[in-house]
Amino acid sequence: MSGYARAGGIGRMHVWHLTWSTASRHPIAAQESDRRALVRLLGRVAGDSIALFCIADDHLHVVLFCTEPARGRIAQALSLALAAACSESLCPAHTRRVEERSHLAWLANHYILGQPIKHGLASHPALWSGSCFPDLVGARVIPGLRLRVFDALPRWRLGDAFVAVGLPRVPLTPVEDALARRLGASRAVASVASACAGDAGLRGRGDCETLGRRAVAQICSAATISTGEMAFALGITPQAANRLVRRAADAGASPGAEGLAARCAERRYRRPEGAGPDLDRLVAAARLHLALEQVVAGLPATAREPDPPAYTPFGRSGSESPENPGARVTAHPAFEVRPENPGAGVTAHPALEVRPGNPGARVTAHPALEVRRCARQCLSPAHLATRATGRSRGGGIM
C-alpha cells in the first residue's frame, strides 16, 4: 500500500486536493488586482501547508500537504476568507484525498500548472498571475507562502514545471543591469508588481506596494535609469523618487542590517522598513520575472485555436452548405442557401425564400412579405387575398 494511503497516526501528513468554484460560474476574480489579492490571501491563510495552487477563471485549485485535522481547519479558514474576498458566492469546497504518488505527480506535471492551457485563459501559463509557477521558480515573493511540493513529492524536479507550462528545461537567470536599462523603468515597475502580487502601478500605502517602490528604486539605481523616468513610471514626484533612490542606496550598499542601522543613526532618520532580506528577495524575484518574460517573448508564435461559432437564440450554428461552400449560415439550421442563388444569405424565418428571378434580394422580414421581380412589396396576407380576387388594384409599394 502506498504511503499516501496509510492512515497511520493522527499526525501523519497527507495530500489533499481542494476545489472551490463560483455558484454562477462567473469569474472568481473579475480583475487582475482581485486575482493578485486572492494569491496574497492564500499565503496569509494557509501558506505553510500549500503544495500547489492555481486560480482559474471561475474556480481555484489548492493542493494541501498537512495532517487530516489541519486539513479541516485550513479548508474552513479558506472557505470563510474566500467568501469574504470574492464578489460571487462560492460552492462548498470539494475535497479529495490524493492516494497515490502517481496521482500527485499528475497534478504537479499536468493538471495544476496546465490550468491556463486547459481553460484557454488569455495569458501564457508561465505568466498567469493565478498560477503557482512564478512562486516555484522564485519569480514571486508572497509573505507566508512556502510551497511544499518537494516535501510531498521528493522525486519531483523543477524542470518538470518548465515542461508543464511549455518552456524549455533551462534554469532562469536574473536579468543584468544592461538589459534592465534597455527595458526601462515601466517594465521594472510591472515586474516588481508581479513579483509581489501588488497593484499594477505600485500605487497605494500597502505593505507590498511600499516595499515594491523601494525595489523599483534599487533596480533603477543599479541600471542607471534616471529618476525622472522612474518617477514617471511610478506616478510620483521627482522629489519622492530621489528619496526612494537614497533609501535604496542605503539598503543596497550596507554590508548588513547592523551597518545599515548605524548609517541610519548617523543620518538621523529611521531605518526604512523592508530594507534587508525581504527587499533583497523581492529585487531578485523581480529580476527573475523579467527574465521569465524574456523567455516567453522569445518562444515561437503558435497558431491559436479558432473561435467557436456565434451563439444565436436557436443555438450554435455556422456550418456551410455543401452546395454553397462560400456561404455561412448564422441563424436557424432550417435556413438554407439555395443552389440557384449561391450569393444570397437567408438570415430570417425559414419560410422566407429568395426567388430565382431576383437573386440580389435579401429577405429579412415576415414570411408574408414577398420579394417581387421588380420591387419589394410589403403586403399583408389580407391584402394579398384581395389582390388575388381582383377587388384591389393597388398595393403598398415600398
For the stretch 111-148, what's the b/e string if a residue is b when 16 or more beta carbons lie within 10 angstroms of its beta carbon? Answer: bbbbbbeeeeeeebbbbbbbbbbbbbbbbbbbeebebb
Q: b/e map of 296-332 (b: 16 or more CB within 10 Å)?
A: beeeeeeeeeeeeeeeeeeeebeeebeebeebebebb
Instruction: Report the pLDDT value the prediction gives residue 372, as an integer from 0 to 100.
Output: 45
Of 3.30.1330.10, 3.30.70.1290, 3.40.50.720, 3.30.70.2860, which CATH number belongs to 14-164?
3.30.70.1290
Average pLDDT over the chain reads 77
Q: How far is CA 107 from CA 15, 58, 64, 333, in A?
A: 11, 19, 12, 42
Query: Which pLDDT does position 260 carry in this prediction?
Result: 38
C-alpha cell at 168: 524549455
Q: What is the pTM of this model?
A: 0.68
Residue-level pLDDT at 387 = 57
Q: Residue 92 pLDDT > 90, yes or no?
A: yes
Q: How far is CA 34 from CA 27, 60, 142, 238, 313, in A?
A: 10, 13, 15, 30, 33
CA of 376: how far to CAs of 362, 365, 386, in Å? 10, 11, 18
Are residues 224 and 181 in contact, defined by beta-carbon separation less than 8 angstroms? yes
Q: Cα–Cα distance between 57 and 26 in angstroms, integer?
A: 8
The whole-angstrom separation of Cα 242 and Cα 231 is 9
Distance in angstroms (rounded) separating the CA atoms of residues 52 and 149: 7
Residue that has been written with the C-alpha cell 464578489 in this structure = 87
> Per the structure block, which three cell numbers stand in for 326?
462560400
Q: Flag the least confident range among 83-87, 296-300, 385-389.
A: 385-389
CATH 3.30.70.1290 domain position(s) in the chain? 14-164
Integer Cα distance of 254 and 74 in angstroms: 40
**Which residues have CB under 8 Å from 116's CB, separation 6+?**
54, 56, 123, 124, 125, 128, 130, 131
| CA 346 – CA 334 distance, rounded (Å) | 10
Q: What pLDDT does residue 252 have?
A: 53
DSSP 260: H
36 has a pLDDT exceeding 90? yes
Residue span(s) of the chain under CATH 1.10.1750 come to 178-297
- Residue 382: its pLDDT value, please? 61
Q: What is the pLDDT of residue 161?
A: 93
More confident residue, 326 or 73: 73
The three-point CA angle 283-287-289 to 5° equals 115
41-61 confidence digits (pLDDT tens): 999 999 889 999 999 989 999
Give the model's pLDDT for residue 301.
60
Residues 316, 308 contacting (CB under 8 angstroms): yes
| pLDDT value for 1 | 38
Which pLDDT score, from 0 to 100, does residue 358 have? 54
**CATH code of domain 178-297:** 1.10.1750
Q: How far apart are CA 194 and CA 36, in angstroms?
A: 8
For range 112-133, the mean pLDDT = 92
More confident residue, 299 or 255: 299
Quick one: 27 exposed, middle or buried, by C-beta within 10 A (0-12, 13-18, 19+)? Answer: middle
**DSSP H or E segment with residue 284:** helix 277-297
pLDDT at 307 over 60: no
Per-residue pLDDT of 125-155, as tens digits, reads 999 999 999 999 999 999 989 999 999 999 9
Comparing 71-80, 168-177, 231-240, 364-373, which segment has the lowest mean pLDDT? Answer: 364-373
C-alpha cell at 236: 510620483
* Distance (Å) of CA 245 to CA 213, 217, 239, 253: 10, 5, 10, 12
Banded model confidence at residue 83, pLDDT cuts 50, 70, 90:
very high
Q: Is the pLDDT of residue 292 over 90?
A: yes
